[in-house]
Amino acid sequence: MTDTATTLSGEKARIGAPSIAGFTEEGENLSPLNESSSPIGGDASTAHSHGPAAEVPAASRGERPTSYNLEDFPKLNGREEDWRFTPLKRLGGLHKGAPTGAAPAVALSGTANATLETVSMDDARVGSAGIPDDRVSANAWNAAAEASVLTIGAGAEDVEATLTITGEHREAAAQHVVIVAEANSSAVVVLDHVGSAVVAQNVEIDVREGAKLTLVSLQAWEDDSIHLSTQQAVVAKDAYYKHVAVSFGGDVVRLTPSAKFSAPGAEAEMYGLYYADAGQHLEHRLLVDHNQPRCTSNVLYKGALQGEGAHTVWVGDVLIRKNAEGTDSYEANRNLVLTDGTRADSVPNLEIETGQIEGAGHASTTGRFDDEHLFYLMARGIDEKTARRLVVRGFLNEIIQKIGVTDLEERLNETVEAELAATDN
């Protein structure tokens, strides 16, 4: 496969998405897809699918404001860099007034050595790993009446825990979740979002020294749901953090996962899988903040789109600060377009403030099936419909296999099969 990729080291560099005036709440009008590109092969690919170049924002990703105070963030109008792809009119008011509905219910299942508590927002663990970095997050932080805190005990091994988060109504709500992986623990935690909800959510993830945590955020909502979630992690010395975002359900889903290091020697991997149907808006904006020496990160998101009006957005920000010598980082996004009438926006951003790094780079592809793959399978007696399904399954399975929970992997494979069956019809 030929990617349009960028690898940078040495002098300070910034590659970013343009800031373009004249947007509305409906989002940006973009240039057409490169028809000859394919994320699974082919002779050409496109780094981004947004329009022609324009002025790069003056502010570094590391200089954007963070605050618990809602008034420190101006009201949204759709022209902001971080919101230009998001359909504000479809957010159920989560970006406007304070949400007053009851938060989705939270239930814990899984092995021992994981405890769930409901605490007040003045608990010491609230705010230990996160701080709002946009207006919706600040609004939800201030509106949440309580927080759900999941703790993985120190030294606990091979813990598997699922928090089932169930929406039971469509009144705008705020939710706060804190996950603490204590020192030298190892766990896989699944946030399983189901039901119907209109919710702005903050998730804090505290990965302490020597801990190994995999967090899977599964968006399996009903089709009428709206989910805006900020998921911020702080990764301590010699700790390992894997974040996997899986988005299938919902009308509008916007996840903003991030990882920040609190000491040298930490590692973060961030993976994502999304499958957008007709009319769905699935948006993932991530940040890896290399603010400590000798840390590593790897990012890979893959998505498929089908049906009129299906829209996906992926924005990957990697910031390597001046003191982050010895950093090794890479990010990539692949989008597979299955039908006409879809739109995929892919914007990798890489900002480097030191030349003393091991390496840093990014790649992005958006395209249709590669005819050579189909020809290869059909030449071996496989009909075209089956061949297409095999290619899509193989394309997405790379992410599913990163989870490490057999039952969940089987469930996701079944979901992919159901999506592909809908395409066949």
Task: Quickly state the pLDDT bin for 374 (edges 50, 70, 90).
Answer: confident
Check: CB of residue 216 under 8 Å from CB of residue 241: no
Q: What is the pLDDT of residues 266-292, one digit of tens each?
A: 999 999 999 999 999 999 999 999 999
Mean per-residue pLDDT over the chain, rounded: 88
In 10 A of CB 366, how many CB atoms?
28
Query: Would you say 225 and 173 are in contact if contact means Cβ atoms under 8 Å apart?
Result: no
Q: Following DSSP, what letter does each residue of 54-116 receive, concatenated?
A: -PPPSS-GGGS---S-GGGSPPP-S-SGGGTTS-GGGSTTTTSSPP-BPPPEEEEEESSSEEE
The pair of structure tokens assigned to 84 is 């230009």
pLDDT of residue 361: 96
Dihedral sign, Cα of residue 383, residue 388, residue 393, residue 395: positive
Cα 362–Cα 366–Cα 369 angle in degrees, nearest 5? 130
Give counts: helices (H), strands (E), the chain: 4, 18
The tokens of 28 are what?
């940006």
**pLDDT category of residue 24 using cuts at 50, 70 and 90:** very low
Please give the pLDDT value at position 55: 37
User: Does residue 388 come out as left (phi exceeding 0), alpha (psi in the -120 to 50 range) or beta?
Assistant: alpha
Q: Is 20 exposed, middle or buried (0-12, 13-18, 19+ CB in 10 A)?
A: middle
Confidence of residue 1 (pLDDT cuts 50, 70, 90): very low
| Residue 312 to residue 249: CA distance in whole angstroms | 13
Residue in this structure with the two tokens 């946009």, named with its chain if needed: 134
Read off the pLDDT of each residue in 111-135 and give the average, rounded to a whole number. Answer: 96
- Distance of alpha carbon 333 from alpha carbon 56, whole angstroms: 21
Q: What is the pLDDT of residues 375-420, one digit of tens each?
A: 888 888 898 888 888 889 999 999 999 998 999 999 999 999 999 8
Give one DSSP letter per residue of 6-46, joined into a string. Answer: EE--SS-EEE-----S--BTTB---PPP-TTB-TTS-SB--
Helix (H) / strand (E) element for 195: namely strand 186-207
Mean pLDDT of 284-301: 98
Nearest to 69, CA basis, from 131, 144, 127: 131
Which range among 86-90, 158-162, 233-237, 369-373 shows the weakest confidence by mean pLDDT?
A: 369-373
Neighbours of 24 (CB within 10 A): 14
Asked if the model's pLDDT at residue 213 lies above 60, the reply is yes
Q: What is the pLDDT of residue 38?
A: 54
Reported as a single tens digit per residue, the pLDDT across 311-350 is 999 999 999 999 999 999 999 999 999 999 999 999 999 9
* pLDDT of 52 strictly over 50: no
Res. 28: pLDDT tops 70: no
- pLDDT value at residue 347: 97
Identify the residue with better confidence: 390 or 18. Answer: 390
Give the pLDDT confidence score for residue 10 in this predicted structure: 38
Given a contact cutoff of 8 angstroms between Cβ atoms, the answer to whether 296 and 265 are in contact is: no
Question: Which residues, at least 6 apart from 125, have a Cβ–Cβ distance to it below 8 Å?
Answer: 119, 147, 149, 178, 180, 204, 206
**Strand segments (E) across 208-342:** 212-219, 226-235, 240-247, 252-261, 267-276, 281-290, 296-305, 311-320, 328-337
In our burial notation (b when 16+ CB lie closer than 10 A, e otherwise), range 36-49 reads ebbbbbbeebbbbb
